[in-house]
Amino acid sequence: MIQGISKFKGIFVAFYACYDTEGNVDEKKIAKLANWYLDKGVNGLYLTGSSGEGMLLSEQERMRTVDAAMDAVGGKITVIAHVGAKNTQEACRLAAQAAKAGVDAVSSVPNIYYPLPEICIEEYWDALIDAARLPFIIYNIPSTTGYNLSLNLFEKMIRKPYVAGIKTTSPDSSLILKMKAIGGDNTVIFHGEDAQLLAGLSMGATGGIGGTYGAMPELYLNIYRAFTEGDMEKAYLWQQRATKALTHGRVSWTPGVASMKAILAARGMDPGGVRAPFKTVSANEAVVREAAEMIEEWIREGY
């Protein structure tokens, strides 16, 4: 386990894939969006993960995304690259390239599609760690991988060199307490359930990584700031607002990232649509416009 977690605290935006009008990865949009988040004051970026449509991008597109983001904000903000892929060889290439690009850490879900025994998952993660030789963040998201990390495997992993901690996207916030007890105070724990960020922080999470953060970073930053200042009433208010906006603005006929990208576009920062089989949501959808207006009004109002 690595020591020192200060750069892995706070609000990390799960960075959206950026496309041009033809659906190609757009480096200029990546740079513009990365700098927008930097200006908003977020603590870090999480590249090519679930909200970044990482599994819908080619290996080269993922590498280009990492390179473009690092060229824009590398050294100014903490950057974590998700490098999980359908096979170990590809994931290792992504890990090595991310390290060469200068990211601060790499992260990965378990190998996808095939149900695997834990020894295979452990060896897969070990290979990525060896390829990158950087702090490693386990990514536990059973709703998409079909695998819920056991505390037994977590304990094995957290004792390895380079393993910094975990991003856990689970409605069971008590897992954070259990993982903290196993790993100790220097364990990085990112909460991934956006509607429960405050609950996760209360359980001991060092921060959050969220897909809806990208559409409304100001709201989540206010949750985190209020929490760290000990103002739970204010933190609760901002959590209520964030949850209302993400619920109101989400359409039911496509994955949530499409709605969040549309809300961001309605706020004036258009990253492009989403890649098939996802369906793109228009920034002109009524619920999207209403959510964007809510967010802007709350930012103007403050507490």
User: pLDDT of 172-187, one tens digit each?
Assistant: 889 999 999 999 999 9
Residue 201 pLDDT > 90: yes
Is the residue at 16 inside a domain? yes
Is residue 217 one of the residues assigned to a domain? yes
Name the domain count of the chain.
1
Between these two residues, 298 and 171, which has the higher pLDDT value?
298
Rounded mean pLDDT of 77-92? 98
Residue 286 in domain = no
Predicted TM-score (pTM) of this structure:
0.97
pLDDT digits (tens, 9 = 90+) for 244-258: 999 999 998 889 999
- Using the predicted structure, report yes or no on whether residue 210 has a pLDDT greater than 80: yes
Q: Is 9 a catalytic residue?
A: no
Q: Compute and round to an integer the Cα radius of gyration of the chain.
A: 18
For a pLDDT cut of 90, what percent of the chain falls above it?
93
**pLDDT score of 51 more than 70:** yes
Which listed residue (19, 29, 124, 167) is catalytic?
167
Q: How many CA atoms lie within 13 A of 68 on its CB side?
A: 24
Q: Quick check: 113 pLDDT over 90?
A: no
The predicted pLDDT at position 162 comes to 97
Average pLDDT over residues 23-45: 99
Is 87 part of a structural domain of the chain?
yes
| Residue 208 pLDDT > 90 | yes
* Helix-helix angle 217-228:286-301, to 10 degrees: 40
pLDDT at 3: 59
What sign results for the dihedral spanned by CA atoms 189, 190, 193, 197? positive
Q: Is residue 56 part of a domain?
A: yes
Name the catalytic one among 16, 46, 139, 224.
139
Compute the distance between CA of residue 263 and CA of residue 25 in angstroms, rounded to an integer: 20
Confidence of residue 2 (pLDDT cuts 50, 70, 90): low
**What integer pLDDT is reported at residue 199 of this predicted model?**
96
Give domain status of residue 150, yes or no.
Answer: yes
Does 285 score more than 80 pLDDT?
yes
Range of the domain at 220: 6-228
pLDDT band at 4 (very low <50, low <70, confident <90, very high): low
18 within domain boundaries? yes
Q: Is the confidence at residue 15, as pLDDT, over 90?
A: yes
Does 160 participate in catalysis according to the annotation?
no
Assess if residue 141 is contained within a domain. Answer: yes
What value does the mean pLDDT take over residues 81-104?
Answer: 98
Q: Please report which residue ranges of the chain form alpha helices under DSSP H.
A: 27-40, 59-73, 88-101, 118-132, 142-145, 151-158, 174-183, 197-202, 217-228, 232-248, 256-266, 286-301
**What CATH number is given to the structural domain containing 190?**
3.20.20.70
